[in-house]
Each structure stands twice: as structure tokens, then as C-alpha cells.
Structure 1
Amino acid sequence: MFAKTDLELLDCVARLGSFTAAAGQLHKVPSAISYRVRQMEGELGVELFHRLPRRVELTEAGQHFITQARAMLRQMEEVKAQTQRVASGWQQTLRLALDNVVKPHRITALIRDFYRHFDNAELVISMEVFNGVWDALAEGRAEIAIGATSAIPVGGDFGYLDMGEIDWAFVMAAHHPLANNKDLNEEVIGHYPAISLEDSARTLPKRSNWQLPHQRRLMVPDWPNAIACFSEGLGLGCMPRHYAEPLIARGILVEKSLPTPRSPSHCCLAWRKDESNALLAWVLDYLGEDRDQLNREWLN
């Protein structure tokens, strides 16, 4: 119904909340933007934007339309990218969703070995947090997930392997006000922010790392940012032990005991079943089925 440029125009107006701002970004005059939006609203038979004195807001119908429009734009870009890959000899792409808890150096080794083995395929890796891993599988943004935590919260034809458990350490900076306190309780701990990662799920319910009831959170996107906040003494919380131990050994962090210790998290390897996917089959064979080996190499 609408051209790609029309969808991009609507997306720009929706993001900036202004015909004038969109006009500046698209190098057009505001009247041209406003006129084209009116034309599209006329073709649809619905109003997409509420016109307010200094800005515009999406109507309920407009919100639905822009969500679908953005999905179409992503699909168009993917078709374009796939076509370019075919022209360049890259005939296949495998998408991996990795939970932020996995060891970074192991990811590098997988990438190296994949590209050594395949000369006409590419690997696309996304780092996810908590249910964001399952979200990527459920939405088709990934064919395989490594280090997915908790139980499978989505329906579908998935295979999975147990990767064992990941241990957590309750830590804080060595200079944190509670670092020398030997008798920690929930009331004392609750006065300081709990550093936690923001769940990257888009459609599934979000989960959080750890916090006490009514405790303020300090939400960050990944473990490198979390480590920086821990090291600066900006908060306290639970960190995967393989991240925490080197910092504890260097005297940057100290480990303390929680009144109610956090239980280890169960992790797994999960994938969308597809017997025709040779890239997926290679990665699964590469990773192996040994639970202890998977746990040792990727998690602990």
C-alpha cells in the first residue's frame, strides 16, 4: 500500500513527535511532511496522530500501524541484506543468542572456528539478558541460544541440552561502606542500590537478577557496565562467580554472605529444530553434548 519512504517518514515523525523535527531530519519542509501524513491517513481511513499544540502523538491505531510498519522496514532491510550476501557468496546466516553470563573468550573461539570451517556463511551474534534469550528464539531472531537461564518459557519445537548451573557471588566494592561489616542483614543491605541487569526481552515477561523487597535498583545493560558500577562502589548485588572471582582476587571486590543465599541458576543450550540447517548442525556438533564440559567452558 505504502512505499518504503512513506513508512520511514511515519517512523521518523513517531520517533521525534514532531512534523518540524521530522522535516529537519528528512531534509523536507514541515508542510510536505504534514501533507503526506494526511494523505496516508486518508488512504487508511484512520487518524494516526493526535495533533497537539507543539507536538504530535500516536493514536491507538497509529501505535498499531507504526509497530507493523517498523516490522516491515526490518524485513525489507533483511531481504536487502540477504540478497547482498548471496551476491557476495555468503549463502547462509546463522544467528546465535548468547546470555550475558557466558564467558567472553569462549565466544571468540567459536567465531574463529566457525569462520575457519565455512567460507560461504556468516554468524550473527546477539547478547541477551535473562528472558531476552528465549525472546530471541521465540521471535525467530536466533536459531540457537547458549547459556539460557531458567525453564523454557515459550512454546514451539525446540531442542535443548542441560549446561548445568551457574554460581553467584554476593559482592561489593572493597571500599563500600558495608565491606567490613560482618553482620549483614536485609535491613542493612536494603539501604544500598542493588546492581542488576535489565532483561532484554521484548515480548516475554521480564525477570530481574536479584534484589530485596523494596530495595532500589541500579539497572545496567550488561556485565561490563555492572562490573564498573560494582567497582566504583555504586551498589551491591549478585554476580556470576566466574566474573567475580578475578576481581575478588585483585582486591577490587569483596564477597559477603547473604542472610538468604542465592541459589545457583540452571542453564541450558536451546535451539529451533531444523534438520535442514547445516550451520546449526555444525554448531551443535561443535559444542557437544557433555554437560560438564559445556558448564566448564561456557559458565564456570
Structure 2
Amino acid sequence: MLSEQSFELVELVAKLGSFTSAANHLNKVPSAISYAVKQIEDELGVELFERHHRSVSLTPAGEHFVNQAKSLMLSIAELKHSTLAVNQGWRPTIGIALDGLVREDGISYLVREFYKAFADVELHIYREQINGCWQALNEQRCDIAIGAASNIPVGGPYEHRAIGELSWQFVVAADHPLATELHITHSKLNNYAGVCVCDTAAKYPATRLGLAPGQRALAVPDWIRAINCVKDGLAVGCLPSHLIAPFVDNGSLIVKSSDLQINDSPALLVWNRNVQHEAMNWLIDYLTRDKRLVDSWLSKN
């Protein structure tokens, strides 16, 4: 029966070029090495070596065997390592990056159902802003990104699906000096700070979304703080329509016509198709088949 020792023996003989050299290396007699190799060949039904007077060389089948054996040996080593790690408490993980624009309402249901289905896999869920999801995918810090912007082209093994259309509205506080203006030009905007959310993608060119040319920025870590800053009259700006809907409805934020606009664009569910795992397949299916969950990411309610 083929084993690790079989792979190692054939590789050693191929490397040293003779049964005698392999026997000296292993402190055995050449006949024992020759016999062991013959047993492997009989099991496979092919000759791995051409026998010469004082040396051996690999046949084409032997070269294939050695190349494949090296790959198998690596896989076996990884299997041993991961099995030992699981025994010591390690669990496979799947990383999910949530863009700051998506609502978290559906995450609890996702986690509950996932942990019912998989007792031996961990979920790691965290927030990214602006282009951060793309960098997390590229650096393999996450396997799935929910709400990634569609304007960053990225090479690599990624699949994606739109989860909704992202729209923006320019708003000011109800008591802000600009609240009485019919239309707000760039020149008027330069008199007031514009709110923007800090991009967590440190390796991409910094994106300052929603600022007029020359406008002073008020940079904040997330969209909730951005909304609060505008409500408090500390800044003005373009904010996500689905997040500000309650504040527009109650009158604390006023939608205004402005020269400053952000175009509508799809928000994406993106995943790494090279991650072949039953739990990963379950997650992609769950995240794409449940319409209520898909609709919740950019919901106004």
C-alpha cells in the first residue's frame, strides 16, 4: 500500500540516482531498497525507474509519480498540521467584511443559522469603509464582502452580485443657514465643512467621498457619526438615502438641491471563488437566495 515512506523512498532514489546510494543514505543494503521499489512498481503496475549498470533513472511515469508525490506530501503535512491545530482548539474561519453603508439587521439571523449548521467553523465579522472591503479581499483578510462599492475594478478570483442600488441625497440640518437656500452652489459650500467618512483602505489612494472642490472636510469614522454631525449643524454633505430616511421624514435633516452630487451605483456582494468549503457555499447560498435578507442591507426601515 502506498504511503509517505513510499513517496519518500522513490524521491530519494530519483535524487541520488542509484539504489546503492539510497541504501547508504538510509543505512540499509541495496537489495532491500531495490525490493521495496519493486513492490511499489508492482502495486502501481508501472516501472518507475530504468535500471542501468550502476544507476537508475526515472521513466516518464516515474517523473509523473515523483512530481505528484511532492504535492501529496505537502497536502499530508498540511493535514497533519491542521488536525493538530483543531485538537488544540483551532477552528476553520470565514471572514465577512461589512461595508459601513449596509445595515446590520440581518447579521444576527445569519450567524444564528450558520452556527446551527456548522459546529466547527468560526465566523469573523467586521466593518470596512469606502474601499476597505476591496483591500480586505485582496489581502485575504476576508472571504466575503457585503456592500462593496462597484467602482473599484479588482483582478483576482472574485464573483459578485448586486444587492441593491445605492443612492445619495445632499442634506443640511433644519436650522442650518443653507436650509433656506433654493439651490446650493459649490461656492456656497466652501463656506461650510463637508462631512466625509474615512477610507479604511490604506493602500488605495485616499477617497474623500462627497466633498466639493476646495471644501474643508470634517472626517469621521462611520456614517452614523456623519449623520449626527450634519444633524448638529457641524457640517453638510451627501449622505446615503437609506440611512437618512428617518431623519428626513421627521424634519431634522433637509434635502437640498446642490451642485454637489454622488451618482447612484450598485452595492455588491463579493466573494472569493477559490475558497472551496461547504460552509462557504452555504453562506453564499444564504446571502443570495433570501430576498428579505438581500433587501435588508440597504433598507430604509
What's the TM-score, normalizing by structure 1? 0.66
> How far 1:175 moved relative to its partner?
1.6
> How far 1:115 moved relative to its partner?
2.3
| Separation of aligned partners in 2, 1:165 and 1:289 | 18
> How far 1:87 moved relative to its partner?
4.5
- Judging changes above 3 Å, is the alpha-carbon distance between structure 1 residues 123 and 236 closer, same or farther for their aligned structure 2 residues? same
2:277 corresponds to which letter in structure 1? N
> How far 1:101 moved relative to its partner?
0.5
> 1:161 touches 1:289 (CA, 8 Å); kept in 2?
no
Residue 189 of structure 1 corresponds to 189
SS in 1 for 2:98: strand
- Judging changes above 3 Å, is the alpha-carbon distance between structure 1 residues 258 and 90 closer, same or farther for their aligned structure 2 residues? same
* 1:178-204 Cα shifts (integer Å, max 9, x gaps): 112223222112211110101100222
> How far 1:295 moved relative to its partner?
5.7
SS in 2 for 1:136: helix
Say if 2:248 is the partner of 1:255.
no
> 2:168 touches 2:238 (CA, 8 Å); kept in 1?
yes
What's the TM-score, normalizing by structure 2? 0.66
- Judging changes above 3 Å, is the alpha-carbon distance between structure 1 residues 268 and 150 closer, same or farther for their aligned structure 2 residues? same
- Judging changes above 3 Å, is the alpha-carbon distance between structure 1 residues 144 and 126 closer, same or farther for their aligned structure 2 residues? same
1:296 corresponds to which letter in structure 2? D
Residue 274 of structure 1 corresponds to 274
| Separation of aligned partners in 2, 1:131 and 1:145 | 11
1:121 corresponds to which letter in structure 2? V
> How far 1:293 moved relative to its partner?
6.4
> 2:164 touches 2:295 (CA, 8 Å); kept in 1?
no
Alignment of 1:149-298 (within 5 A): 149-259=149-259, 261-274=261-274, 276-288=276-288, 296-298=295-297
> 2:287 touches 2:294 (CA, 8 Å); kept in 1?
no
Larger Rg: 2
SS in 1 for 2:191: coil
1:203 corresponds to which letter in structure 2? K
> 1:173 touches 1:254 (CA, 8 Å); kept in 2?
yes
1:141 corresponds to which letter in structure 2? R
Say if 2:285 is the partner of 1:299.
no
* 1:211-244 Cα shifts (integer Å, max 9, x gaps): 1100001111111211221121110111111111
| Separation of aligned partners in 1, 2:247 and 2:163 | 25
> 1:97 touches 1:142 (CA, 8 Å); kept in 2?
yes
Residue 28 of structure 1 corresponds to none
> 1:165 touches 1:295 (CA, 8 Å); kept in 2?
no
| Separation of aligned partners in 2, 1:275 and 1:141 | 13
| Separation of aligned partners in 1, 2:181 and 2:154 | 43
- Judging changes above 3 Å, is the alpha-carbon distance between structure 1 residues 112 and 166 closer, same or farther for their aligned structure 2 residues? same
Aligned pair count reads 218
> 1:130 touches 1:149 (CA, 8 Å); kept in 2?
yes
Alignment of 1:90-101 (within 5 A): 91-101=91-101
| Separation of aligned partners in 2, 1:249 and 1:242 | 12
> 2:231 touches 2:253 (CA, 8 Å); kept in 1?
yes
> How far 1:265 moved relative to its partner?
2.2
SS in 2 for 1:86: helix
1:86 corresponds to which letter in structure 2? V
2:240 corresponds to which letter in structure 1? P
Alignment of 1:37-116 (within 5 A): 86-87=86-87, 91-116=91-116
> How far 1:253 moved relative to its partner?
1.1
* 1:118-154 Cα shifts (integer Å, max 9, x gaps): 2222211121111111000000100010110123433
1:235 corresponds to which letter in structure 2? A
- Judging changes above 3 Å, is the alpha-carbon distance between structure 1 residues 95 and 287 closer, same or farther for their aligned structure 2 residues? same
SS in 2 for 1:224: helix
